[in-house]
Amino acid sequence: AYNRVINFGAGPSALPVSVLEEAAQGLLNFRGTGMGVAEISHRSKEFQTFLDEFEASIRTQLAVPPTHRILFTQGGGTAQFSAVVLNLLARYRLLHPERGADETVVDYVVTGSWSKKAAQEAARLGGARVHIAADAREHGGKAFDHIPAHGAYRFSQDPALVYYCENETVDGVEFSHDPASPASFPYHLLPQDTLVPLVADYSSSFMCRPIPRLADHAVIYAGAQKNIGPAGLTILIVREDCIVDVDAAARLGAAPVPLIMSYKTLADSGSLYNTPCVLPIYISGLVIARMEANGGMPHYEEMNKRKAERVYKALDEGEKAGVFRRKVQKGSGSWMNVVFEVLGEGAEKRFLEGAEKLGMKGLKGHRCAGCTCFIQIYMLIHGSHRAQIRWRLVALILL
């Protein structure tokens, strides 16, 4: 229906047709109000109820503990590159009023282009020294093609934040959720004597599976446009102690924080300090409601695991046949973004053309400086049953 192709774009990405159909109705008449969702006041009780339900669903599906608030904002992951630094430096200043910028350090784990960008933004903002706790390019290869082994990490004693990106969208590198894996996050190496402000960018893997050790995180954030809905909405999960009075911190010398970036502003206003992105919230809410109706997180985790296994199996076979080369080392491969090279003169072009003939678009990977173009398969978490069939199709054209 609707002449839709199979869209593998990594973000914005495909949304379930049933949700888009429901959203089309909601654009005309939202929950019987006689007004469309893009026309109704964000302060109406109908929208407030929708927002409450959306938040409750995220809390249930991810088992977010009462120690953490769920906040909604705009500005994408990129705004959070700045906001996490500003808010957590304010927190640090309140805890240590005597420590200036030269005695404040923020730790970054760099595993790909997005965490690299986040570290660069921290350096731009100043207020702290940026310490690279691990850089995948310096340990075990020149490229962002793996998660560093635990021995490669050097965390600071008392950092104002520790930052990592759970899934590197462009590079296809993801932390393993198996604590026994060398590609897991080294929680045991973090300073043990403080409530470590651990920050994770979950933009491209949010809700594809449960978040391990969620309660040990200070801030988890995700732009909606990969897995949850349209671009415009950013979801934050913030531990209470990281929601601080940024003005009090500024009086002690911390950088002033724009009000709309302050987690306290968002928390105190129930994420309604100013007009929120009503439509992306609505569509994202419909996606999550559908996910719950289909069996929720356990069902999707199982399905996503199977999808990933199927695609990696096909890649393995293709590698044996000399057709493909995986970009990412074994054990560090993402469930969501599978990045590989099609080997041979003109092969990539043929592959992409072949895929397009089968109605599959958005497979061309990110072109970065100095590397070949890779194919990227982005695996939508909220895929329908038809998506399962598509996986078989993809596996077929892969070989």
Kindly list the catalytic residues: 114, 201, 226
Phi and psi dihedrals of 394, rounded to 5? -60, -45
Coil, helix or strand for 369?
coil
Residues 263/238, Cβ–Cβ less than 8 Å = yes
Nearer to ligand PMP, 11 or 127 (CB): 11
Nearer to ligand PMP, 19 or 336 (CB): 336
Beta-strand runs (E) in 86-207? 105-110, 129-135, 161-165, 167-168, 173-174, 198-201
In whole angstroms, how close is the CB of 348 to ligand PMP at the nearest point? 22
In whole angstroms, how close is the CB of 46 to ligand PMP at the nearest point? 28
Amino acid at 186: P
Residues 231/225, Cβ–Cβ less than 8 Å = yes
Which ranges of the chain would DSSP assign to H, the alpha helix? 17-28, 45-62, 76-95, 113-125, 246-251, 263-268, 278-293, 296-320, 347-357, 385-398
In whole angstroms, how close is the CB of 65 to ligand PMP at the nearest point? 24
Amino acid at 180: A
Cβ partners under 8 Å of residue 281, min gap 6:
50, 51, 54, 72, 229, 233
In whole angstroms, how close is the CB of 223 to ligand PMP at the nearest point? 3
Beta bridge partners of 212: none
- Structure tokens that stand for 209 in this block: 């599976």
Nearer to ligand PMP, 375 or 398 (CB): 375
In whole angstroms, how close is the CB of 118 to ligand PMP at the nearest point? 8
Nearer to ligand PMP, 145 or 201 (CB): 201
- Structure tokens that stand for 15 in this block: 């949304």
Question: Residue numbers of the site for ligand PMP (CB under 6 A)?
Answer: 11, 76-78, 114, 165, 169, 201, 203-204, 223
Residue nearest to ligand PMP (CB): 76
Phi and psi dihedrals of 391, rounded to 5? -65, -40
Nearer to ligand PMP, 87 or 169 (CB): 169
Q: What is the torsional sign of CA 108, 111, 112, 114? A: negative
In whole angstroms, how close is the CB of 335 to ligand PMP at the nearest point? 14
Peptide bond before 210: cis, by omega within 30 degrees of 0? Answer: no
In whole angstroms, how close is the CB of 260 to ligand PMP at the nearest point? 15
Nearer to ligand PMP, 244 or 283 (CB): 283
Residues in the chain: 399
> Residue 329: which of 132, 193, 183 has the closest Cα?
183
- Structure tokens that stand for 94 in this block: 């309140």
Spatial separation of the C-alpha atoms in residues 379 and 304, rounded to whole Å: 8
Coil, helix or strand for 137?
helix
- Structure tokens that stand for 211 in this block: 């978040």
